Structures are given as C-alpha cells and as structure tokens.
Amino acid sequence: MSLPPSQHYDAVVIGAGHNGLILATYLQRAGYRTLLVERDASIGGMTCTHEPMSAGFRHSPHANFLAYQAVTPIMQDLQLRARGLATFEPDIQHGIAFADARPPVLVHRVGHEEGSLRSFARHSARDAATYVDLRKRAATLTPAIRDVLFHPLSSAGIGVHRAAMAQAFGELAEDARLGTRSAAQFIDERFESPEIRTLLYLLAMEFGASLTQAGDDLAFLGFVLWMIGSRQVPIGGMQSFADALHRAALAEGVQITTSAEVGSIRIEAGRVKGIVIAGRFIEAPIVASSIGVERTLLDLPSGGGLGASDRQALAAYRRGSGSTIASQAFALTEAPRYRSARWDADLDRCVQTFIGFDSPESVLLHERELAMGLLPSPRASMRVPSLFDPSLAPAGFHVAGADSHFPDEKALSEEDWQGIAESYNEALLDVWSRAAPNMTRDTVIASHFAIPRSGDRRVLLREGRQYSTSIAGLYLCGTSTYPGGGVHGACAINAFQEITGVQFQ
C-alpha cells in the first residue's frame, strides 16, 4: 500500500470501479483536487478481467459487454477509444438453444433487423413482423433515454420519457392498461410463438424487468426493447475498458491509491471532514462512495450518524430482496456446436446464448424460484468471447463464460456458496451438453465458479435525492443509486451533477 502524497484534497472518491473512475475524472476536470482510493491492488472493480483457471484463459467474471454507446457521454468526453479501448459489435447478439434441437431464435444487432426477421419467421411470420416493428419504434427513444438516464431521477424526466413512448408506439402507449400489466402479460398478448416468447421473457429479465410484477410492461416497452441488440464486446475483456478509464483519470491528474482500504469517514457536526486510511487522516470536504451502500452509510461514518429519512430509506432497502448473478468460466479445447445450429449456423457465433430454458413456463418457474429464495435448476446465458477476440485464449483453444441467477447472496451462507462452487459447474455442463453435445468433460480443460462479490443489485430510493445524504459532503455514486447496474456511467455522472451543480446537456 502506498499512502497518498498529500493529506488535503477537495474530494475523495472511494472505490475504483468504473463509477468511481468516472466520477473522479469529472471532478478533477471541474477543478476539484481529487483522490481515488481502491481497496484492491488492481483498478476496475466489476469491470475486470483475470485468469482464474489456466494461464492464457482470460475471463471477465462480472460485466462483459458495453451496451450504452448510443447514449453515454463518457466515450467521447474521456476519449476512451484514443486511450486504447477497442470494441467488436457481434452480428448475432442474443439467442436461445433448445435441448431438443428445435430451430433457435436469434436476435441480430441494431440496424440488422432483417436477420432477426428471418430467425423469428421460422416460428411465426406474424411474430417476426411484430418484433421488427416494435424494435424499430424503440430505436426512436434514444434521446429520451439519454435524458432520463443521465439526469437525477425526476417526475419531469419520467414525463419526457412517457411522451417519447407515446410518439414512438402510438396506440400501444395510449392503451389504458399500460402500466398495469406484467412484462410477461405484454409479451403474451403480442407474440404467439412459445419459442419467441421464451427468448423475450429471458431478455426482459436480462435487462431488469420483472415478468410478473404489475407495471413492468412499461419497462419492457420503454427500455428492454431499446436495449436488445445493442451490445459491444471490449477487445481484451472488460479490463480494457477499466484501463482506458484509468488512463483518462491519470491524464486529468487524479491521484489514485490502490491496496488501501478506507477505515472510516470522519464526521464532525454533521459534516464530512475526510477519511482515515491505515490510521492516517486525509482531509476532504467531499467524500463520494461507489462501494456498497450499507458499508458506506453504516460502517464507515465516525463521529456522526444518518438523519431520520436516510435511516428509514436504508431500513427499507435492507428489508428488500433480490437475486444475484454468479459467473462461471470454462477453458475449452473447442467452441460449442449447438444442436439447434443445424437450422441456423449463426447460433454458434451468438454472443449470448441461453441454455436450460425450453418454454415460457420454464422461465416463469425460474423467476419464482429466485423470488422464493430457492436454488434454481442449472440454467445460464453462455458466451464464448474468444470467438471474437482470440487474445482471450491460447491459440487453438477457447474460453467460455456463463452467468447464472441465484437467490440474494445474503440468503446463503458462506458454506452454502462453497458447496455450490464445488458442484454447480458439473451440473451446468450436463445441461450445456444436452444443447451442445460436444461440450463434454473431455472438452473442458478447467472451470471456475466465481462466488458473487458483495455488490448492490437494488437501488436505494430516497425522496427528492439519490446521491447526497443527510451527512453534508457525503455522496453515493455506486450501483445502489439510480439508474442502478450496467456499464453506463450514469450513477457517476448524476452524482457529479449533484455535487457540483453542473448540468449535462
């Protein structure tokens, strides 16, 4: 650990994941002398890439894609491409492979809807036309989504988004039932093919909509459809994105300290005075945290506590429950060859392929099991990034990743997670081999199960503000703040606006 060279800063940002890096860079650019403190030895947080199995097999266990390039300002503002970030936009973005070798359902990237039309039409010509029409309408929401994501949540912003939806979707947006149905009910009303509905159910869950919660038809129509087909893959894994942010921060003059854990945030008379690292006090009137909200608000403050409204909001937050995502990695002698690919060879080059789901009912069961805190049957979305980026695996080999949903990480003990880590990959491989018979124990050189890190997958909602707290000078900028998870940088940018009063246009 190297301690910061100074004991006085205008602002301290805790946590050098992508939100922490972005906020620190913007603050420094705005004239705030900024210190960024990271507990780990490396930069990146959830946007990391490492080698958990064998040398040369590189895996990104948390974030894997960039999907907000149409709206996020950080690519241009921070010159990330000039700082080494390169991406690949796969033609085949989402798909589902069936164990019984039915034709797959494939979604092509934005602007190439004719490919999605062909794939959907194998199951239903009507559904194909419906999907392409809805996706093209959703594309017109880009300005409104940029506005609603990159400003603190407000009724005015929501109104702008609803007006854009009305213009884009016409009679659908005017339906009096909109906002009263679940995402599954909306999908069932518009699509007849069970195969297509299965994939759309999965994509609704993927992008944060509940299949059964009333009102999430709005989320599906106004956000999920816009997100579908927009992913880019960073060359070199997600670490290359974090590295470009790191270079941007250094270029602006941010002071970065790694292998340094903040011991406390010192509070005097209800106001932040600074932080303590390894017994050393670092003075700063502004402290912004991108780490866990409970640690930030309950564990770190020393010398003062939260106001009543924050205590109530945090209590409600802690009572809430959700699901968590665990990542698996596989070192392979060859890429998967799916049985369903006999109908469409593009399946074998799909950047995200769902396995273990054979019907809409199987997806609904999966969501119910998670809501009840039960361990679901092995199912996952699979990716083989070495198909697009050979640098992620040794020559002639491949690396695959899988994302599987589990109950809230806190609902399971450390012993539970250890038992899952020891057995889950074998069970998932059995499911994978039914869809792709060449995925056998002979094909898998090594595998790894990443026990979920403590991370916020729920948003702490507080009336009138998202980023400031009842302790003057203490701010939040992590995924517990609006708009939540995803590699968009909006949590950081919105926190910057609240800290400085500078508004993004």
Question: In this structure, are 102 and 132 located in the same domain?
Answer: no
Question: In this structure, are 426 and 477 located in the same domain?
Answer: no
Span 373-421, pLDDT tens digits? 889 899 999 999 999 999 999 999 999 999 999 998 778 888 999 999 9
Q: What is the pLDDT of residue 462?
A: 63
List, as one string, the DSSP characters of 262-294.
Answer: EEEEEEETTEEEEEEETTEEEE-SEEEE-S-HH
Question: In this structure, are 349 and 441 located in the same domain?
Answer: yes
CATH of the domain at 299: 3.50.50.60
- Residue 130: inside a domain, yes or no? yes
- Residue 203: inside a domain, yes or no? yes
Q: What is the Cα–Cα distance from 212 to 138, expressed in whole angstroms?
A: 22
Question: In this structure, are 361 and 443 located in the same domain?
Answer: yes
Quick one: pLDDT band at residue 6, thresholds 50, 70, 90? confident
- Residue 2: inside a domain, yes or no? no
Q: Which of 15, 99, 71, 164 is nearest to 486 (CA)?
A: 71
List, as one string, the DSSP characters of 207-254.
Answer: TT--SSSTTHHHHIIIIIHHHTT--BEETT-THHHHHHHHHHHHHHT-
Enter the pTM of the model: 0.96
Span 199-257, pLDDT tens digits? 999 999 999 999 999 999 999 999 999 999 999 999 999 999 999 999 999 999 999 99
- Of the residues 415, 431, 453, the one at which a domain ends: 453
100 burial class (0-12, 13-18, 19+ CB within 10 angstroms)?
exposed
Q: Which of 36, 61, 38 is nearest to 50 (CA)?
A: 61
Question: In this structure, are 341 and 488 located in the same domain?
Answer: no
Question: In this structure, are 367 and 420 located in the same domain?
Answer: yes
- Residue 344: inside a domain, yes or no? yes
Q: What is the pLDDT of residue 455?
A: 53
CA atoms within 13 A on the CB side of 324: 21
Question: In this structure, are 389 and 420 located in the same domain?
Answer: yes
**Mean pLDDT, to the nearest integer, of 260-279?**
96
User: What average pLDDT is seen over the chain?
Assistant: 94
Span 160-185, pLDDT tens digits? 999 999 999 999 988 889 999 999 99
The token pair that represents 193 in the structure block: 């093919």
Question: In this structure, are 344 and 440 located in the same domain?
Answer: yes
Chain position carrying tokens 């650990």: 1
Strands 105-108 and 92-96: antiparallel
Number of domains in the chain: 3
Question: In this structure, are 428 and 483 located in the same domain?
Answer: no
- Residue 3: inside a domain, yes or no? no
- In angstroms, the Cα distances linking 409 to 60, 132, 179, 295, 322 are 19, 37, 30, 16, 9
Bond from prior residue into 483 cis (ω within 30 degrees of 0): yes
Strands 262-268 and 271-277: antiparallel
Share above pLDDT 90 across residues of the chain, in percent, rounded to a whole number: 84
Exposure string of 337-374, with b = 16+ CB inside 10 Å and e = fewer, is ebbbbebbebbbbbbbbbbbbbebebbeebbebbeeee
Q: What is the pLDDT of residue 319?
A: 76
How far does the chain reach from its first CA to its final CA, in angstroms?
39
Structural domain harbouring 122: 110-228
Question: In this structure, are 315 and 464 located in the same domain?
Answer: yes
CA atoms within 13 A on the CB side of 403: 19
The number of beta carbons lying within 10 Å of the beta carbon of residue 275 is: 26
Q: What's the per-residue H, E or C state across 145-188?
A: HHHHHCCCCCHHHHHHHHHHHHHHHCHHHHCCCCCCCCHHHHHH
Alpha helices in 288-384 (DSSP H): 293-294, 308-319, 360-371
Question: In this structure, are 103 and 114 located in the same domain?
Answer: no
Span 461-484, pLDDT tens digits? 665 578 999 999 999 999 999 999
Q: What is the Cα–Cα distance from 49 to 39, expressed in whole angstroms?
A: 17
Quick one: pLDDT band at residue 273, thresholds 50, 70, 90? very high
- In angstroms, the Cα distances linking 4 to 34, 211, 248, 274, 286 are 11, 48, 19, 13, 16
Span 57-112, pLDDT tens digits? 999 999 999 999 999 999 999 999 999 999 999 999 999 999 999 999 999 999 99
CATH of the domain at 385: 3.90.660
Q: What is the pLDDT of residue 409?
A: 78
Q: Which of 338, 109, 108, 98 is nearest to 198 (CA)?
A: 98
The residues, ordered by sequence, that sit 6+ positions from 403 with a Cβ below 8 Å of its Cβ are 64, 325, 326, 327, 328, 380, 381
Question: In this structure, are 413 and 487 located in the same domain?
Answer: no
Quick one: pLDDT band at residue 309, thresholds 50, 70, 90? confident
